[in-house]
């Protein structure tokens, strides 16, 4: 898929120095003699997917928050887990999360903010894909654990440090944005200072918005208006705001999003599991840029953009009883070009076109019974194919995975360490999981 | 998981002559000297999954019915496809469908009825898993294509022929049930004659029930009551009725299901894509036996029970806004023991216990970043794991897949033939698919 949304049958992509030089029916005379030529016969070459909402630091917590109510999830599982996660745990958590993303064809992601930005940065440097990092900030609200509470100025100061250290690192693969957790825990002062800094630095803000019903009730009681209307009134809506979830957004608030070109990250898995169903067809109809995210391992639990594209295409048909809602071609755009717009990176990634970075994946649909036969390749990519069909992943002109082997890290070693550290974190956090069935040990 | 729903850590399963002899901490003295010993260290050994609703004959039609309204789906895509599918096409369609099911850990399925039962039977014989076959019947209603219309007596007679030929074939792996399409196309006469025959032969009836909203309006207008109430009044509800979808069932009708011990096949993918959301927590709370099905490739499009278990666990949480709804352990039961009850086969399959058939799968969760770390194995099986982690599949004591290699057929040859035949069927049917993006050819 190129910038004009065209599909080339038996086409090619010429990559030089990490950039796409030409796409389509490549002129053989323009191919340098020493170029490596890769036969992708029978396979699909397409832009790398962009995951616009994923918690790297939560990867070791997969399975800690299933089938419990929201308060148990937060107080007895997530906060104890976060408190017990060391910077080095977070490094391994981030590597493991990048592994899963690479295997599902992701070449760029946006992180809403963990505590340990430095070890996330190190992991992304090594993993070889693009990451937009942020730090989670909480400066107000009830029930915040002591270790996580800071003043608005402290929040801003810490983020400036991270920006200075990491923005533009790894040959430009890493960018740093401002992280805002939710309106429950972010004062207007912090929101506005974040907006000011984001504008000054030319970066974005990543915030959970209209996530749960209780948030709307809280915003009305605490700030006088529902979340989005309130953000509009204080001047926090703009094209560099990436609003995540937006399950409980109203039609009036969608109009505000369109007016201010606010970007949306739709996370259908997390929404199905906990939040409710976001009005995605309604947002797309208004022309709002809706992208797709996986959210974190304890609330989805698949960090897999092909599964999220599948859910995005399916869930809104069932909800609206309209089987034409959110068709496959829209979903593919949401996972690629819309992801690039949402991450303010559309000048560099999101489609295969000359001048953009060589972020691409090769997919083999023809060798798996789950995606055969192919009548409609775009439909199969979205409705039938699983990420196990992703064969190779290139980011910034470098192979990150080739023939299903991840080249930037020792997968087995990372997974082993992830398991060990996950067990240790759970133990330190004192998290007890109920037995779902009686377990008998010798 | 055994019949008492226990999990054995470092346990074993002793299989002899196709049956399970013991489960749990196997007494080494009881293991014959010439027994093959398989080390499943680090892996999960569990019952094979039971897919209680899958259309084998639709596998070649995957991708023909995406993103179109119901009438287009039926009149311009599905009926032309069905009319053009030959018996031999159906054989390959069935093999390809079995391939996908085997790779996702299915050892038994129930088919609601295609036209060519003989070639389905041949495919199941070869594939090595269990299949409950049926023939699709339509004896009334508007818009039925000429080739598919028959009298009630003809419908019954044809099914008796199939039963005599196939019921109990392949060492008992194949069974034949009565197929009823929907109340749109089945007269009360056919329904009652099917019930009578099913009772006499000790088999079940497989019927789409309360599938779309229009069906309820139709049943009220045509028979005077909504589908399930009507079936109850004429005496068609019973423990051998497998009712599929039940999206539009009312609380009163659920009570009827409980009263008559009617079994349900829940197909969350198809429901999400076209039908609406079935009241699964409500049915489970009433004690109704709810199992899981994938439906057919043009309406899901993943014939993958691990994906369906994931959807089953997720969708009802979002719908009811209760994250404790339909927990992982219930979903695992729905995919195994409930499947066995729904297919009237609980004396033989569905759990690992002495005397039952050796239908089991081995799953390697530890080598894929998408299911690591493991804090809660049951939660990971349902929420995080993909079918690509299914390593080996045994049915009736025979390996059907070992170390990810399917042993009962030549996978590549089947997929190639599936593609060729699918292209030919589409051409014969005159189905034109719109281009989703402009396609450029040299």
Span B109-118, average pLDDT: 93
Quick one: DSSP state of residue A30?
Answer: G
Q: Residue B114 has what pLDDT?
A: 84
Give chain A's domains with CATH numbers: 1-346+354-432 (3.20.20.140)
**3 state DSSP class of B46:** strand
Distance between CA A370 and CA A1 in Å, rounded?
23
DSSP letters, A146-204, are: GGG---HHHHHHHHHHHHHHHTTTTTTTEEE-EEE--TTS--HHHHHHHHHHHHHHT--
Counted across chains A and B, CB pairs separated by less than 8 A come out at 271
Minimum-distance CB partner of A370 among B60, B302, B329: B302
Which residue of chain B is at minimal alpha-carbon distance from A70? B323
Distance between CA A266 and CA A50 in Å, rounded?
12
Q: Which residue do the tokens 């060391």 mark?
A: A86
Mean pLDDT of chain B: 95
Q: Is the pLDDT of residue A239 over 80?
A: yes
pLDDT tens digit sequence for B320-341: 999 999 999 999 999 999 999 9
Nearest C-alpha of chain A: how many angstroms from B179? 26
CA distances from A337 to A1, A304, A333, A343, B422 (A): 10, 18, 5, 10, 32
Is-contact B43 B364, C-beta < 8 A?
Answer: yes
Span A408-416, average pLDDT: 98
Q: Which residues of A touch B414 (CB under 8 A)?
A: 369
Helix axes B305-320, B328-335, angle to 10 degrees: 140
Nearest C-alpha neighbor of A284 from the set A322, A257, A321: A257
Quick one: DSSP state of residue A343?
Answer: T
Question: Token digits for B405?
Answer: 């290699």
Q: Which residues of A touch B386 (CB under 8 A)?
A: 302, 304, 386-388
**Cis, bond preceding B286 (omega within 30 deg of 0):** no
pLDDT tens digit sequence for A80-114: 999 999 999 999 999 999 999 999 999 999 999 88
pTM: 0.97
Distance between CA A294 and CA A299 in Å, rounded?
9
Alpha carbon A250 to chain centroid distance? 24
Distance between CA B264 and CA B269 in Å, rounded?
15
Is-contact A215 A182, C-beta < 8 A?
Answer: yes
Q: Which residues of B touch A77 (CB under 8 A)?
A: none
Distance between CA A412 and CA B124 in Å, rounded?
37
Nearest C-alpha neighbor of A236 from the set A265, A276, A196, A272: A196
Span A41-60, average pLDDT: 97
Contact A63 B318 (CB under 8 A): no
Contact B96 A378 (CB under 8 A): no
Minimum-distance CB partner of A67 among B327, B422, B442: B327
Span A371-389, average pLDDT: 95
Q: Residue B215 has what pLDDT?
A: 95
Instruction: Give the confidence band of A51 by pLDDT, cuts at 50, 70, 90.
Output: very high
Span B171-197, average pLDDT: 97
Which secondary structure element, helix H or strand E, spans residue B392, and what is its range? strand B390-395
End-to-end CA distance of chain B: 56
- What is the signed CA dihedral for B268, B272, B278, B280, rounded to 10 degrees? 40
Q: Is the pLDDT of residue A1 over 70?
A: no
Contact A9 B276 (CB under 8 A): no
Q: Is the pLDDT of residue A126 over 60?
A: yes
Q: Residue B325 has what pLDDT?
A: 96
Q: Is the pLDDT of residue B1 over 70?
A: no
Nearest C-alpha of chain A: how many angstroms from B25? 7
Distance between CA A310 and CA B290 in Å, rounded?
24
Span A305-321, average pLDDT: 96
Q: Which residues of B touch A323 (CB under 8 A)?
A: 67-70, 73, 273-274
**How many Cβ atoms sit within 10 Å of the Cβ of residue A199?**
12
| A116-130, A369-383, B25-39: the lowest-pLDDT one | B25-39
* Sign (positive or negative) of CA dihedral B95, B98, B100, B103: negative
Is-contact A248 A274, C-beta < 8 A?
Answer: no
Is-contact B290 B334, C-beta < 8 A?
Answer: yes
Distance between CA A67 and CA B376 in Å, rounded?
12
Instruction: Give the confidence band of A2 by pLDDT, cuts at 50, 70, 90.
Output: low
Best probe of the B interface among A4, A67, A212, by most B CBs < 10 A, is: A67
- Percent of the residues in chain B that have a pLDDT greater than 70, as a whole number: 99
Q: Identify which has the larger pLDDT, B296 or A149.
A: B296
Q: Is the pLDDT of residue B225 over 90?
A: yes
| A32-41, B348-357, B395-404: the lowest-pLDDT one | A32-41
Q: Which residues of A touch B387 (CB under 8 A)?
A: 370, 386
Q: Which residue do the tokens 């994938």 mark?
A: B294
Q: Residue B216 has what pLDDT?
A: 97
Q: Residue B383 has what pLDDT?
A: 97
Distance between CA B274 and CA B295 in Å, rounded?
12
Nearest C-alpha of chain A: how many angstroms from B192? 32
Helix axes B117-127, B87-103, angle to 10 degrees: 40
Distance between CA B273 and CA B271 in Å, rounded?
5
Nearest C-alpha of chain B: how many angstroms from A141? 24
Which secondary structure element, helix H or strand E, spans residue B106, and what is its range? strand B106-110
**3 state DSSP class of B84:** helix
**Would you say the ipTM is above 0.90?**
yes
Q: Which residues of B touch A271 (CB under 8 A)?
A: 318
Instruction: Give the confidence band of B3 by pLDDT, cuts at 50, 70, 90.
Output: low
Secondary structure (H, E, C), B319-349? HHCCCCCCCHHHHHHHHCHHHHHHCCCCCCC
């Amino acid at each position: 898929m190129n910038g004009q949304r065209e599909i080339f049958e038996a086409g090619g992509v010429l990559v030089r120095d990490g950039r796409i030089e030409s796409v389509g029916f490549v002129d053989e005379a323009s191919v340098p003699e020493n170029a490596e030529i890769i036969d992708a016969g029978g396979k699909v070459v397409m832009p790398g997917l962009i995951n616009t909402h994923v918690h790297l630091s939560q990867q070791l917590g997969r399975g800690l928050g299933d089938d419990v109510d929201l308060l148990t999830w937060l107080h007895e599982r997530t906060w104890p887990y976060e408190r017990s996660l060391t910077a080095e745990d977070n490094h391994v958590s981030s590597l493991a999360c990048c592994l899963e993303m690479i295997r599902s064809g992701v070449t760029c992601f946006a992180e809403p903010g963990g505590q340990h930005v430095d070890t996330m940065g190190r992991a992304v440097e090594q993993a070889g894909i693009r990451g937009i990092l942020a730090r989670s900030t909480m400066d107000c609200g009830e029930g915040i654990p002591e270790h996580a509470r800071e003043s608005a100025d402290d929040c801003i100061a810490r983020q400036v440090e991270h920006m200075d250290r990491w923005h533009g690192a790894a040959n430009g693969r890493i960018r740093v944005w401002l992280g805002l957790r939710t309106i429950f825990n972010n004062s207007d002062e912090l929101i506005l200072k974040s907006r000011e800094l984001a504008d000054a630095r030319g970066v974005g803000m990543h915030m959970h918005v209209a996530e749960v019903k209780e948030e709307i009730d809280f915003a009305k009681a605490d700030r006088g208006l529902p979340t989005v209307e309130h953000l509009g009134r204080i001047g926090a809506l703009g094209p560099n705001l990436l609003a995540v979830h937006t399950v409980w957004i109203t039609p009036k608030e969608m109009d505000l999003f369109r007016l201010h070109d606010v970007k949306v990250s739709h996370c259908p898995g997390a929404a199905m599991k906990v939040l409710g169903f976001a009005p995605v067809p309604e947002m797309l109809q208004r022309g709002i840029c809706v992208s797709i995210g996986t959210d974190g391992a304890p609330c989805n639990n698949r960090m897999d953009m092909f599964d999220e594209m599948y859910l995005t295409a399916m869930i809104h048909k069932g909800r609206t009883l309209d089987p034409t809602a959110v068709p496959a071609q829209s979903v593919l755009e949401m996972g690629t070009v819309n992801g690039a717009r949402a991450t303010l990176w559309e000048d560099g990634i999101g489609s295969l076109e000359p001048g953009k970075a060589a972020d691409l994946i090769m997919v083999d649909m023809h060798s798996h019974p789950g995606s055969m036969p192919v009548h409609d390749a775009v439909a199969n990519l979205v409705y039938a194919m699983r990420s196990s069909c992703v064969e190779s992943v290139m980011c910034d002109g470098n192979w990150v995975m080739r023939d299903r082997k991840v080249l930037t890290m020792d997968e087995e070693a990372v997974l082993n360490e992830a398991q060990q550290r996950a067990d240790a974190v759970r133990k330190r956090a004192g998290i007890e999981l109920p037995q779902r069935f009686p377990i008998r040990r010798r």
